[in-house]
Amino acid sequence: MLLSAVLLLCSCGYRDVSLQRVQDMGALLAGYDAEGSLTAGGQGPLVEIVKQAAERIGVLAPVVPAESHTWQEMLTRRDIDVMLDASAEDNLTLGPVFTTQALLVYRQKDVPDWSGKIVGVLDAGLCAEAAKVMDGYTYAGFSYYSDVDMLIDDLNAGRVDAAILSRFDYRLIRDAGYQYETAAERPVYLSLRRGDAALYNALQQALAQMAAEGVIDDILYGN
C-alpha cells in the first residue's frame, strides 16, 4: 500500500492554515459519490477509513454528497475539504490509499461459458475495466444495481448468473461457496485543494499510521 510523500511547503509568504481551519471547525467535510461502490449512501470502506483518519487529527468527518461534475467546484468553494475516490490535475492527490479489486463471482466449479449470461454489477467503472480484461467472455448484458444486498439476493436466487463485486463487498458471501476470479484492479485516491498542504500532510501521516497498524486492511477485509 503506497501513500504519497509529504509535501514540502515553500517559504513564499503564504501561510497555510488548512489544518488549523478544520481543527478549529472540528470537522473535515468529506465529499462522496452517492453511487460509488466504496462510498454508496455515505457509507462504505473509504468513508470509514477517512473518518478514522480524521479522528487522528482531532476532528470528525461528516460526509457531503458531491456529484462527479460538481465536486471540484465544491472543493474550490470550500463546501468540502476532501473528495473521496477522486483525483484531478488541478488538486492535490493523496494516495493511492488502497487498491480495490473487482471480483467476478459465480457458483460453478469451473470457469463457465459466459455467452448469453447476465452479470450483475454495482460499480460501472469497475465493470468496464473488468470487461476489458476478461478476454473471450461474451455477455448477453449487464444488470446494474444500486444496492449490494439486492444484487446478492438475485445472485443467490439465480436471477443473475454472476456478479462483479469489490473485494470489500465479497465479504458478505465469502462463506457461501461461490467461486471468483480477479477481473480488474483500481487505485483509490483522495483529492484536496491545491495549497492545502498542511491538511494533506496531516492526513497522509494519519493514513500511513493506519496502514502500518493494519487498520486499513481490517476495514477492507476484516470481519
What pLDDT, in 10s, does the model give residues 93-130?
A: 999 999 988 888 988 665 567 777 888 887 666 666 66
Cell triple for 70: 460538481
Q: How confident is residue 11, by pLDDT bands cut at 50, 70 and 90?
A: very low
Q: Is the pLDDT of residue 172 over 50?
A: yes
DSSP codes, 16-50? --HHHHHHHHTB--EEE-TT-TTTGGG-SHHHHHH
Contact 85, 45 (CB under 8 A): no
pLDDT at 10: 47
CA distance 87 to 75: 12
Q: Over the chain, what is the mean pLDDT?
A: 85
Higher pLDDT among residues 55 and 68, named by residue: 55
Q: Is the pLDDT of residue 199 over 70?
A: yes
Rounded to 5 degrees, φ, ψ at 15 are: -105, 110
Q: Look at the pTM and tell me if it is higher than 0.85.
A: no
Q: How confident is residue 221, by pLDDT bands cut at 50, 70 and 90?
A: confident
Mean pLDDT across the stretch 87-96? 90
pLDDT at 64: 96
- Going along the chain from its start, the domains and CATH numbers come out as 18-97+189-221 (3.40.190.10), 100-185 (3.40.190.10)
Q: Is the pLDDT of residue 152 over 50?
A: yes
pLDDT at 138: 58
- Encode pLDDT of 45-56 as tens digits: 999 999 999 999
Q: Is the pLDDT of residue 16 over 50?
A: yes
Highest mean pLDDT among 79-93, 95-109, 127-141: 79-93
